[in-house]
Structure formats: structure tokens, C-alpha cells
Chains A and B, each alone.
Chain A
């Protein structure tokens, strides 16, 4: 049962970003409170990024795996 190789790369990329989120939330909570962009805290930005990234990678996959 072959899965397109690109699917696994995209999965690995998302997993990395997700694990990064868990790690920052659990072990560097101070970082989550900083406001790096647009006056919004990293906690919100990172969360919204994870939601947007899921859709972007999924849409990208449709284009890449034909």
C-alpha cells in the first residue's frame, strides 16, 4: 500500500511544527507571552499558524500528488 512520498514529507513537516508548539507551551511558557507580530501573543499566532498550515499543506498535497 504505497503512500505518495510527498505525503510523508508534508506529514513530517507538520509534525515538526506541532511538536514545536507543544514544546514551547510546556517548557518555554514565557516565549508564548511575547508579542512578535501585529501586537498579538505568540500563543495565538502559533495556534492560528497551525490551523492555517494544515490547510495549506493539504491543498499543496492536492497539487503535488497527481
Chain B
């Protein structure tokens, strides 16, 4: 769709950015020590930290990705919500407290507390960097993808803007400013999602008077104008009619002899065309029609009026909805057409798992397809407690009690948010405002269907969402490089001041790398990258975190081996998966050597296995054990 830049949205966004920068600068005057820069002096209030958890965790992928996925496929987006939230249970009950007791600034601190081994520091720092960069790519690309429709700037300028603002936030006051930015963003995000949900419930459902989904007879199509014979569009499937203004309507023939109107986007040497006419809003131009509608409501009514939260879901379950499928067709002359065809689906079907490509496996009868689903759900469950940028937040509060309280606050805020995304997604699906070509725009467009100012604010919040998460990631990476690598692995003897300076320099470096990645991967479909980051984090970090706590015979060699094997195997698996073949390299997915795309279900247990095996092989002698316990 063509988006008209809203000056209001640009204004609100700039006000947000200036506010955040001013806040960082103001806070920056107080954070000059290493403990201030990396851990906010351990003095953040548990409630602020809890909301900051939400601000850190709820990335653009959560907000825009999940809303979009629910808006286009229904229940499958909610599966991500369920998995992402469940991961916090691992964080709270298993990982958080020992991590807090053992560590100081980084996740490597905690792993290494018992051994003082450079090998562990090195392995943990590498895994932190790999996971952080993996997670940074979708955030940065997301910023670029969004800035064009929302604010009218180019992809690269979006990436640069986010990169520069975030680097300034991190460099001015490290964890202190990062925490407050995340707190504000987390609070705003939940508050505005709540507001949107209330508006959705008050609006209820309404069946529009004209629906593209309704099939028409061939005779009726032919009355609109002369039909076209085009070898690119075989008459067995397609029926094209020339309209007076120059546009061509393409109908897909149905088995019952009738035909259904589609929307066709063609790209090629003559630019992007919609239904045969150049895309645009001016004279002689044409743009895609916004989509998303209820086609029938229970009891045959045409509008429901305001609904309660339960009645909303129940009504949706009994309604029928217009959803769209897309099909890519190669035409002559190097042109590529994407055909969007509407269909009716029951709400009940949309509220079942397995409608989207990511979770299709759950409806398949093949065992490997089901394993793909189970593997992703396992990685989401195990990944949260292994994400470095989440773990470092445990060092910003004073004690174990504050760790617990802030995690419970975080779970409350994040859980509420995920319930709200269900309403946002289903509300967007039936809002009549969606862009059929861009799932990520579902939440902002839903806001636009209510009012323009709301659209401006939601767009600005979507950007702040990127800022909050990226600043946490950059900080985690800078801690890993300076605190783990430079100080403990290389053995540099840095003063407190030098540690802060080095941290800032590294943050600038990571910021630049993030911007380059964001520009380089512009074309990459990013929605699954976050899922991959969870797989790598869980495979590399979780086995050693857990075994260190529960198995006395864990050795340092075991930990190093588990981190490296977990990381290498999950990364390798991902790079050999059908999903990577199709979406990253553009190779035929059938040729991928691994049987399913999500590695977690294999590589997480593999990490545990390697840890146990290597630990048993490198068991210290009885005498060493005795002297160790005696010291």
C-alpha cells in the first residue's frame, strides 16, 4: 500500500526521541563508575526494573510481529505469546536467583563463579555476542522496514536513526539510561495496547456492505468491460477484464463456475503496478484496497455493538472472516506478479493452531513436521532465561528479594501485553484497514482505523520499542567484550574509569555493526530470526546454567564444551535448514540436509549430553576435590 506520511506521526516520534535523549543526558551525569555503567549501581527499584523487563523483552517482533501474525493467521501468533511468556517461569524459578548471587555484571560472571576459568569467560562472551548480534539484526531491519510507511524516510535512514539514537542512549549513561528508556517504553506499550483493546471492544464487529470475498458470476464480470486474453494468465484459472480507467481486474475462477476478484501486484522493468496500473494515489494510478472484514456474524446480525472481553472472543469464534492468501507467479518479460485472493474462513478455524507457514507442521501427520512445532515451543520456553540482555537486568537491583519482585512485575506486565495482543490481532483482522502486502503494519493500521493521532502515537511507540530492546542488546554485548573478554580473558588490568570508557567505545562499535547489519539484511524476511536467536541462546547457554546449579560434578571443561557445541550445532542446523535455504539463500527448500527447521529439540539436549560426558571425562581427582572443598 502507498502510505501518506503523517506530519503528526513524525512530530510525535521526534518528540519521543528528543525526550529520551534529554533523559539519557540528564541521567548520564550520575553514572560514571563501572558498576553504574554496567549495572546501574544495583540500585534500580524492583518495580521500575520489572516494567523495564517488559520494555527490554517486548521487542518490535513481539509488538508488530505477533499482532501481524494474529491479524493474518489467527491463533498462530498467540502461540508465540504463550511460549515467550512461559520462558519467564524458567527465569524466575531456576536461573534468576543463583545468577544474582554469583555474578556481578554479566552472565559469564555467574557461570564462572566457581571455577575462575578464562575458557568459560571466553566461551560465554562469544555466545553472548553471537546471540546479541542475531537478535540485533531483526530489530534493526524492523526499524528500517517500519520507518518508510510510518514516517516516510528510507530504509537506511531508519536504520541509521535508530542506531545513532540507541548508541547515544547507551553511551551517555549505560544501564541507568537504558533502564529508564525501557521502563518508559514498557509502560507506554502496555498502556496504549490497553487503550486500543478497550476501543476494539467498544466497536465490536460489523459486517461491511460490500465484500471482495463474495464470488460473482462470469456474466457479471463480463458486463464490466472487455475480457483480456493473455498467455501469462491461462483462461482455465483466470479471468481478466479491462476496466474503463485502464486498470485490469483479475478474477480467479472457482470450481462452481463463478469467479472471485483478486488484487494483483506486478513488479518488473516498468515499476510496481497494482491491477495493471502504476501504484500510487494520483490520477491514473491505483493502490491496493485495504482488507480485513467479518463476513457473517452469529445470529445473522450485521453489527454487534460493544462487547465484553469474553463475548468478543466467543463472537469471533462463531463468525466467519475474510482472510487472504498470496501466490507468486512469474510472468513474461521478467515480471513477477503476486496475486492476493480472498477466502472465507470460520473464526473457529482461525482460533486453532497451524494456519500459518511457521506452525503448519502441527496440522501435518508427519512426525518431523510435528517435531518442528515442538522444537520451536521448547526453544521459546528455554530461550528467555538464556538471553544475555535479559539476564544482565538481574544485576541492576539490590538483592534476591528485589529479583523476585521485579520478575513477578515483569511477568504481570508481559502477560497482560500478550493477552492484549490477542485482541489487537483479532481486532486488526476485522478492521478493514490492513495492508495485504505487509503483516508488520497490522497494529499501526488498526490504530489508524480509529483515529490519525492514535496512529501517530502507536507508530512512535513502535519505534521506541526498537530503541528499548536494541539498547539492552548493545549494553549486553559491550559488557561481554569489556568485562569478560578484555578484563578476564586477555587479562588487561583496567581501572574503573577505563572500564567505563572501554564500554562506551565498544558500544559505539557494536552500534555501527548493528547499523551495517540492518542495512545489509534489508531484504531478509526477519520474522523468524528472533525464533532462531531463542534457539541459539537456549542451546548454548541453558545447559551450563542449569547443570552448574544442579550437578556438583560439572567441570569447567564441561561448561566450555557445552556452550561451544550448543552454539555451533544450533547455528549449523539453522544454516542448513529448509527455512534458511528458502528465505536466506533462495535455494530450493527440499534440498536442505536437516529434517526440520527449528533445532532446539535436538541441540538443547545435545548441550546437556556434551556437558555431562565432558565433565565425567575431566573429573578432577579425589585429592583435588578434597582440597577444593577444604579451601
| Known pairs A25-B353, A35-B317; A54 contacts B362 (CB<8 A) | no
Q: Are B90 and A11 in contact (CB under 8 A)?
A: yes
Q: Are A32 and B352 in contact (CB under 8 A)?
A: yes
What is the predominant secondary structure among interface residues of chain B facing chain A? helix
A26 to B368, CA, bound (A): 11
Q: A14: which B residues are within 8 A, CB to CB?
A: 86, 89, 93
| Known pairs A14-B89, A58-B92, A58-B411; A40 contacts B310 (CB<8 A) | yes
Residue A29 is within 8 A (CB to CB) of chain B in the complex: yes
Q: Are B90 and A55 in contact (CB under 8 A)?
A: no
Interface size on B, residues (CB 8 A): 47
Residue B351 is within 8 A (CB to CB) of chain A in the complex: yes
Q: A50: which B residues are within 8 A, CB to CB?
A: 82, 85-86
Q: A54: which B residues are within 8 A, CB to CB?
A: 85-86, 88-89, 411, 415
- A45-66: CB near B (< 8 Å → 1, else 0) gives 0011011101101110110010
Q: A43: which B residues are within 8 A, CB to CB?
A: 75, 351-353
Contact of A39 among B86, B314, B352 (CB under 8 A): B314
Most chain-B Cβ atoms within 10 A of its Cβ — which of A1, A3, A55? A1
Q: Are A41 and B415 in contact (CB under 8 A)?
A: no
B381, closest chain A residue (CB): A18
Binds A, one of B217-225, B287-295, B401-409: B401-409
What is the predominant secondary structure among interface residues of chain A facing chain B? helix
Give chain B nearest CB distance to A36 CB in angstroms. 13
Q: Are A18 and B86 in contact (CB under 8 A)?
A: yes
Residue B336 is within 8 A (CB to CB) of chain A in the complex: no
Contact of B374 among A22, A47, A48, A57 (CB under 8 A): A22
A10 to B407, CA, bound (A): 15
Q: Are B404 and A51 in contact (CB under 8 A)?
A: no
- B566-578: CB near A (< 8 Å → 1, else 0) gives 0000000000000
Q: Are B348 and A33 in contact (CB under 8 A)?
A: yes
Q: B415: which A residues are within 8 A, CB to CB?
A: 51-52, 54-55
Q: B93: which A residues are within 8 A, CB to CB?
A: 3, 7-8, 10-11, 14, 61
Binding site for A on B (CB under 8 A): 75, 78-79, 81-82, 85-86, 88-90, 92-94, 97-98, 101-102, 310, 313-314, 317-318, 348, 351-354, 362-363, 370, 373-374, 377-378, 381, 404-405, 407-408, 411-412, 415, 418-419, 422, 548-549
Interface pairs (29), CB distance under 8 Å: A1-B97, A1-B102, A1-B548, A1-B549, A3-B97, A8-B93, A10-B93, A11-B90, A26-B373, A29-B352, A29-B362, A29-B363, A38-B314, A40-B317, A41-B351, A44-B313, A47-B78, A48-B419, A51-B81, A54-B411, A54-B415, A55-B415, A58-B89, A58-B92, A61-B92, A61-B404, A61-B408, A62-B404, A65-B404
